Structure 1
Amino acid sequence: MPQIIQNIVLHLNDHMSPEVFASLFDALLSGLEDYTIDERGDVGSWIRMACVRGLTSVSEILISNARTIIRFDDYLTPSKYHLAVIGILKQGVERLDNVRQDAGECILRLLRLPLPDVKDAERWQLPSCGLLVELFAPGTESVSWSDGHWLFPRAVRLLEIEEYRQPVLKGLVISLGSKTDSIHRPVSTSLSAYARSLPASGPTDAYDLVTFANDLIKYAQANLSSNNIIIPILQTFSVLLEAGALEKLSSDDSGIRSLGSLHLMASRHVDRLKSVQRIHESMKTVVNLLAFDAMFERCITSLPSFLAHRFPTIRSDAAEFLYLKIQSMDLNRDTEEVEELLLETEWWVTNNQFRAITDVQTS
């Protein structure tokens, strides 16, 4: 597509209508959401990289030749251009090194691109362009979007910009769910540090911890049937809870309601879930919420859903995780009897044997 546009750009109005151009541009935008994986491998990543490059090149071509294009703003509307930049930024913070590097190089190209030579050109100005330049075009400093330790401490600051916030947060969640330590660790550290820096609540035009938590919860609630989304979100909450990054929520009524929504999401219909990993991450979230006095009783009532689960591996993992957390948490309660029960119960036995054991223990 970029080659076609390059060949006809000086006579674009004669060869392509704004409607046809918009449909082609929309196709590139939709390609940013392709996460297909099949027997050939991660096909979606190839498509996303091609679309990142395509959107960048097409934008460069049109903006550089805007003066010669009649009705330029019908071809490349400011809103479509901003959608492209936002989509590329999201790819720039996701888990694959090569995708991030491609996206980062394209963002640098767009940051260096002059505004179109048309009336009201500032409409194509990137939101908070100065901050983007400060973060990602720092002069002589070596820039590598594939290096998580360089990128993610900068990337989390994009959450300060409302226009970029939701897509970037989604990209960070995907990266945090990565099994690769070189990605998981810098994302976890950076996101936790950023969350700790936020006030519990604040002015409506400023980002705060309650809004941050609610953004994650809303993203999860909109995708409850997708384990590919829910599991990384639960992992994100576990990381934040274990790092103490959400402690300020307990001092705010809205924050406590957010914790309640998180607990409900993690504990509801556990017996209906089929994904062991999702159940495991839900269990970790519920156990980590025990640290909040306002959530303690609710979490206690939810724990049997995991400790008495029909899957022995869930029972065993829940008992082990709960025991370790009780050891490290300051619950201000006598937990000796609970610890003894967690250690002595045979969590790995068959379901019939487990029911017999629990019947004896409760009689």
Structure 2
Amino acid sequence: MPMSALAERRADVLAALCKEVQGGALPGGKDQEDPTTRQYAVLSLGCLCIGAALSSEEISLLLSALEAAMGDYATDRRGDVGSWVREAAMEVIVAILEAQRMQDAHPALPDAACTTKLVSLLLQQAVEKIDRLRDRAYGLLCSLLCGRQLGLAYAKRRVLHGEAYDALGLVSAVEDKGAGPARKAWPPAQVELLSGCLQPSEPVKSEIAGAGKPEADRTAVFDALTPLLSAEEYRSSLLLGLVVSVGGITEHTAKEAKRALLRHLASETAQQQVCQELLRIFDTAGFKDAAGEAWEWGSVAGRLAPLLNTTGILLSQDCIPLDFARDIFDRTARAVRNSRDIGRLRASVAVFIGLMKWPGSLRREALALLLQFLGFSFPTVRQATAQALYIRLLEEEGDLDLSDVPQAGYAPSKPDNKDVKTAIVKAEAVSEAQELVSTTPWATDDEAMLGAALTEVYAKLQMELPTSGRSILVPKKPQEERPREVALTAEGLGVRVGSEGCDRWVFL
């Protein structure tokens, strides 16, 4: 349909498209809608808005819709179908950003902060786990900042006619265009650092030209973009994407992302910055403590396991300073409270094992939670905990100090405080506990045998038996009788009390 035909109803069309992109058309939200419809809606937004003079309200609506599209992680039997929407949104975003170079940009973003936000959304996709999106995001960023833009017409041909990617424009995008004259909303923050990270090296350019493959195919994008973690404007988005790759299940991607992240964390300053951002991610995650309920940040469900996996890796590599240990423990304990998600529980084991490296109350509390996991109802959780705890006890040389030594940054306990634990577990007892952990068949359903072995482990390590939580050692609470029904019968007024299946009538 010609744009001139939509001129009078542009506001209505824009609102309808934004509503569709944001998944607000059906009560069930995005998971009940067709992702292809949202993909087409994003492309239609680009066709409607590129080159048009939009009002401030329309700009705000457009940016909200694009941000929602970049956070579309809807899944169905076909997998991450939201990636189709994110891919189209990336192309529309780059077309909008390219327009900001012009003196009279249409649409005109209000300021450079909006440009920076859109670039950060592209950076997040450039370091996430899906190869196709990583390739495309990296190529679009290179085209935007270092070369030519392929245009929205190419995106339409790709979506509507299945046109395949070429080398993503990287071969022709090797000459830096520079920031150019300053515009109202251009350039984005840290543009020189950004362009420098995106500029391929000479060997890489030669390899791209010879093989016709994008640099991101070899996961070199992680090495290229991790230096941007030093830029505050992009740190949050980059770390969100890296968490998914580092803590994900794709082995090669996780290995390369981990290597790049650890290389960046060689300095104490970088460690402080990343740990602060990790805590912020925990704090803004939107925990839901009800059993079995999904955990999410933004529109992305189920990312807590990768976040905990990444945290465990950083702890094992000594990349988390002691100052952050208590905060990491508190947030991890909160994340697994009442959870029945096996992936989340197993990921938290590595975090608690890593936190045991520091003596004091933190080590004792981490060990207490690990022992609770050793008595968990899920056999896979018990087995994973036993394996990790065995390795940790094997690494312990000599006595195990479980005293409540005050942590750095926290007020010390008074010497006469009776609650302060002074347990020093002898090396012989640690060895016996280690033997119990390694020889007990934790996958068995025999609760009596598990309970006996676990009680002995508690005794060897001088730990108090749990009185609450989900360990098999926690005493079962008797079900309280409660009124279930009041009725007037032939025998008089009666109340049915008791638990389900064991109820009885009591007549007044």
Fold shared by both chains (TM-score > 0.5): yes
Pair 1:315-2:382 in alignment: yes
Secondary structure (helix, strand or coil) at the match of 1:337 reads helix
Corresponding residue to 1:230 among 304, 307, 317:
304
More helix by share: 1
Q: 1:41: which partner in 2? A: 79
- The letter of the residue matching 2:187 is Q
1:31 to 54, 69, 85: 69
Deviation by residue 1:243-291 (Cα, 9 ceiling, x = unmatched) = 2333xx23xxxx1xx1012122333485621101111111121112212
| Residue range with higher mean Cα deviation, 314-323 or 104-113 | 104-113
Give the conservation status (yes or no) of the 8 Å contact 2:123–2:238. yes
Larger relative contact order (CA 8 Å, sep ≥ 6): 1
Uncovered stretches (5+) of structure 2, i.e. residues with no partner: 1-44, 147-176, 209-213, 289-294, 297-301, 401-426, 460-508
Greater share of strand: 2
Partner of 1:348: 443
- Give yes or no for the alignment of 1:241 onto 2:315: yes
Asked whether the 8 Å contact 2:246–2:253 carries over to 1, the reply is: yes
Q: Whole-Å Cα distance in 1 between the matches of residues 137 and 356 of structure 2?
A: 40
Look up the match of 1:127. 189
Q: CA RMSD in A?
A: 2.8
Query: Aligned with 2:248: secondary structure?
Result: coil
- The corresponding residue for 1:198 is 267
Equivalent-residue separation in structure 1 for 2:311 and 2:257 (angstroms): 13
CA distance in 1, matches of 2:200, 2:368: 52
Quote the sequence identity (%): 22
Distance 2:101 2:276 in 1: 41
Q: AA paired with 1:210?
A: Q
AA in 1 matched with 2:236: Q
Decide which moves more: 346-355 or 155-164.
Answer: 346-355
Distance 1:346 1:42, change over 3 A: closer
Q: Deviations over 1:94-113 (max 9, x none)?
A: 11111011111111122146
Cα-to-partner distance string for 1:211-240 (whole Å, 9 max, x where unaligned):
422321231232233162221111001111
Deviations 1:182-220 (A, max 9, x none): 20001111212222x121xxxxxxx44234223212312
1:96 aligns with: 130
Q: Which residue of 2 aligns with 1:265?
A: 331
Corresponding residue of 1:160: 230
Residues 234 and 281 in structure 1, CA contact (< 8 A), matched pair in contact too: yes
Tell me whether 1:305 sits opposite 2:375 in the alignment.
no
CA distance in 1, matches of 2:218, 2:398: 35
Higher Cα radius of gyration? 2
8 Å Cα contact 1:35/1:43 also seen in 2: yes
Question: For the residues of structure 2 that align with 1:278 and 1:128, how far apart are their CA atoms?
Answer: 36
List per-residue Cα deviations over 1:147-194 (Å, max 9, x = no partner). Answer: 354121222211100100111110100111221112000111121222
- Cα distance change of structure 1 residues 353 and 190 upon mapping to structure 2, 3 Å threshold: same
Alpha-carbon shift at residue 139 of structure 1 (Å): 5.7
Residue 296 in 1 paired to residue 363 in 2?
Answer: yes
For 2:184 and 2:399, the matched residues in 1 are separated by 58
Q: Which residue type is aligned with residue 275 of structure 2?
A: A
2:342 corresponds, among 267, 271, 276, to 276
Q: CA deviation at 1:349?
A: 2.3
Of 96, 106, 110, 2:140 maps to: 106
Would you identify which runs of 4 or more consecutive aligned residues in structure 1 move more than 4 Å?
A: 113-117, 268-271, 329-332
How many residue pairs are counted as aligned between the two chains? 335
2:89 alignment partner in structure 1: 51
Which amino acid counterpart does residue 324 of structure 1 have in structure 2? I
Offset at residue 328 of structure 1 (A): 3.7
Task: Name the structure 2 match of 1:213.
Answer: 275
Structure 1 unaligned segments of length 5 or more: list them.
Answer: 200-206
Q: Secondary structure at the match of 2:104?
A: helix
Q: Deviations over 1:16-62 (max 9, x none)?
A: 544334423432232111011113432111100100001111222x3
Work out whether residues 238 and 284 of structure 1, in 8 Å CA contact, stay in contact via their aligned partners in 2: yes
Alignment of 1:176-187 (within 5 A): 176-187=246-257
